[in-house]
Amino acid sequence: MSKKKYPIKHWSYSSLIAYLRNPLAWYKRYVEGVYDIPGTPASVIGQAGHVALQHFYSGLSKDAAINLGLEYLRNVSDFEINFGKISSKRGRGNKRKKMEKEYKQAINFYLARPPRHKVLGTEVKSLSYIPGVPIPVKAISDLVVSSHVDKNAVDIVDHKFVNAFGKRETDNPLFMLQALFNYYTVLSKFNKPVRRFIVYECKKTKNRDGKTQLRRHYIDFQNHQDEFRFFRDLIADTSYDLLTRKKFLPNPTDMFEGKESLEIYRLKLIDK
C-alpha cells in the first residue's frame, strides 16, 4: 500500500456524494476549501427551518424559535443565494420576500403539531472510526432522542423541508446512506444502541386535499443488516480510490457543478 497521505481528514455524507458525482468539484471544495457555490433559495429556507427546530427542541417557545429562523434567513447575503436569472435588485428583493413567506408557512406547518420526543441532543456533531475503513466518518444529527420502541436505545431524527414528498426509505438508497453516517457517529458519541433513523419531511406548499403536511420515514437498523456491509465497503473502496487517484476529472453531466468543473479543468485552476 502506498504511503501517500489522504487529502481529507474525514468523510461526510455530502462529501462522499460530491466525490462520487464530480471528483474535480469535490477536490475544489473539500481539499482546497473553496466554498463559493451559492445555495439555492430552497436550501436557504431549509436551513432556516433547521435553525428554528434546533431552538424549539432545545426548549424555546414556538414564536421565539420561528423568529430565530427568520433572523438567520434575513442575515444570508444576496451573494450567498443563487437567484438564477433574477439580476435586478428589485427582483431579488421580491424573491427574498417570497422566501420569507415560504419559510413561515413551512415552519408553521411543522410546529402546528410538532412530533414529541425526549431530546438528548440537538445538532449533534461527532466523528467515528469504523473498523476496516481507513478514513473516519463525520455527521451532524438534527436530534438524538430516546427511542419510543426500545427504552435502552436512541433514535436519530432528521428534518427536511421539501416541495414534494420523496420516496419511502425502502426505495431511496440515499436515505439509507445518510442514515448510516449518522448511525456510526451517534453510536460513537452516546455509546448506546442506535435503533432508528427517522426522517420528517415537511411539505412547504399547502396540500389542497387537506392531507398532512408532514410525512415520516422510518429506518429500523435491525432490519437492514446487509446495508452495514455495503456502507463499509463503499467507504473503504472510495477511500482507496481517493488514495490511488492521479487526476481529479470534471463531470460535465453534473447538473449542479458540471459547467463550472469543466471551466476549472480547461483553465487548469487546480493542478490535479
Cβ neighbors of 108 (< 8 A, separation 6 or more) are 66
Spatial distance between the Cα atoms of 124 and 121, rounded to a whole number of angstroms: 6
- The conformation of residue 166, written as its DSSP 8-state character, comes to -
Angle, in degrees to the nearest 10, between helices 225-244 and 173-190? 90
255: pLDDT confidence band, cut at 50, 70 and 90?
Answer: confident
- CA 78, distance to chain mean position in Å, is 22
87-100 pLDDT tens trace: 899 999 999 999 99
Contact present, 158 and 150 (Cβ < 8 Å): no
Spatial distance between the Cα atoms of 163 and 175, rounded to a whole number of angstroms: 17
What is the pLDDT at residue 271?
Answer: 67
Q: Kindly report the pTM of this predicted structure.
A: 0.91
Residue 170 has pLDDT above 80, yes or no: no
Spatial distance between the Cα atoms of 61 and 187, rounded to a whole number of angstroms: 30
Contact present, 219 and 196 (Cβ < 8 Å): yes
Please report where in the chains the cell 386535499 appears, as a residue.
209
The three-state DSSP-derived secondary structure of 79-139 is HHECCCCCCCHHHHHHHHHHHHHHHHHHHHHHHHCCCCCCEEEEEEEEEECCCCCCCCEEE
Element (H, E) at 55: helix 41-56
Please choose, from the candidates 90, 53, 86, 92, the residue with its C-alpha nearest in 3D space to the C-alpha of residue 69. 53
In 3-state terms, what secondary structure has residue 159? strand
264: pLDDT confidence band, cut at 50, 70 and 90?
Answer: confident
- CA 117, distance to chain mean position in Å, is 21
Taking every pair of Cα atoms in the chain, the longest distance, rounded to a whole number of angstroms, is 60
Residue 84 has pLDDT above 80, yes or no: yes
What is the pLDDT at residue 272?
Answer: 61
Higher pLDDT: 159 or 163? It is 159
123: left (phi over 0), alpha (psi -120 to 50) or beta: left
1: pLDDT confidence band, cut at 50, 70 and 90?
Answer: very low
Cβ neighbors of 53 (< 8 A, separation 6 or more) are 65, 69, 107, 110, 142, 159
Tell me what the mean pLDDT of segment 107-122 comes to. 97
Give me the chain's average pLDDT, please. Answer: 93
Tell me what the mean pLDDT of segment 149-159 comes to. 97
218: pLDDT confidence band, cut at 50, 70 and 90?
Answer: very high
